[in-house]
Amino acid sequence: MYKFYNPNPSGKFVGDCVIRAICKLEEKSWEQIYIEICAYGYEMKDMPAANHVWGKYLQNKGYKRNVIPDTCPDCYTVEDFCKENPKGKYLLATGEHVISVVDGDHFDAWDSSKEVPIYYWHKEG
């Protein structure tokens, strides 16, 4: 089920989806996650929105990346993923967008339930 979530202190919802999604997973403020991801970007000499930058952040926090099987590349949606994963914390990536999923609900600034995820990050426990 979709739940509105936008921790951006200015209410913006473009260009910072990875920060917003990680805020939900890590239960930290937008500012705190932004600074932490920017530090990784500085260290890696790349932009914080680069997949490998925030991916390294998640990896260092204990998350593991998994690819979603390509059995139906145009019909498997965020909504389907949520139904199949009713427990746990996940970060879904569509290629252009990032969405947090917690206990079967997806949290975003807009209803992204029909987006098609490509891979996800998950932390056991």
Under 8 Å between Cβ of 115 and 93:
no
106 forms beta bridges with 2, 101
The verdict on residue 108 lying in a domain is yes
E strand or H helix that includes residue 105: strand 105-108
Residue 105, both tokens: 């609900």
Cα–Cα distance measured from residue 99 to residue 85, given in angstroms and rounded to the nearest whole number:
14
Cα–Cα distance measured from residue 49 to residue 20, given in angstroms and rounded to the nearest whole number:
12
Q: 73 pLDDT exceeds 70?
A: no
State residue 92 phi and psi, 5-degree precision.
-100, 140
Q: 123 pLDDT exceeds 70?
A: yes
Task: Taking residues 23-52, report their average pLDDT.
Answer: 96
Which residue range forms the structural domain that includes residue 42?
15-122
Q: 17 pLDDT exceeds 90?
A: yes
| Residue 12 banded pLDDT, cuts 50, 70, 90 | confident
How many structural domains compose the chain?
Answer: 1
Global pTM value: 0.92
For residue 22, the model assigns a pLDDT of 97
